[in-house]
């Protein structure tokens, strides 16, 4: 779950889930996007990530 987000990164809550040091974060919404992330800190179930690389927009199917 994303608890905070900015242009440069995000704070996530992922208790009980093993998160690798780099991963793709899928952000839902009207124009979903995908961001490559690198973990910069961990504190219990909270994780701070920095966005690396460009943002990729996912097309939303209309139907």
pLDDT digit string (tens) for 16-52?
Answer: 899 999 999 998 876 778 999 999 999 999 999 999 9
Range of the domain at 12: 2-57
- Is residue 62's pLDDT more than 80? no
- Is residue 15's pLDDT more than 50? yes
Q: Tell me whether residue 62 is in a domain.
A: no
* Distance separating alpha carbons of residues 29 and 35, to the nearest angstrom: 14
Q: Tell me whether residue 63 is in a domain.
A: no
Q: Tell me whether residue 28 is in a domain.
A: yes
What is residue 60's predicted lDDT score, i.e. its pLDDT? 52
Q: Tell me whether residue 42 is in a domain.
A: yes
Q: Tell me whether residue 41 is in a domain.
A: yes
What is residue 63's predicted lDDT score, i.e. its pLDDT? 47
What is residue 32's predicted lDDT score, i.e. its pLDDT? 78
Q: Looking at the 3D structure of the chain, how many domains does it have?
A: 1
Give the number of other Cβ atoms within 10 Å of residue 9's Cβ: 19
Residue pair 39/49 in contact by the 8 Å Cβ criterion:
yes
Q: Tell me whether residue 38 is in a domain.
A: yes
Q: Tell me whether residue 52 is in a domain.
A: yes
* Distance separating alpha carbons of residues 10 and 43, to the nearest angstrom: 14
Q: Tell me whether residue 46 is in a domain.
A: yes
């Amino acid at each position: 779950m994303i608890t905070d987000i900015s242009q440069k990164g995000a704070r996530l809550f992922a208790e009980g889930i093993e998160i690798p040091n780099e991963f793709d974060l899928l952000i839902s919404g009207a124009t979903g996007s995908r961001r490559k992330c690198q973990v910069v800190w961990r504190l219990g179930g909270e994780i701070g990530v920095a966005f690396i690389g460009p943002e990729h927009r996912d097309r939303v199917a209309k139907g």
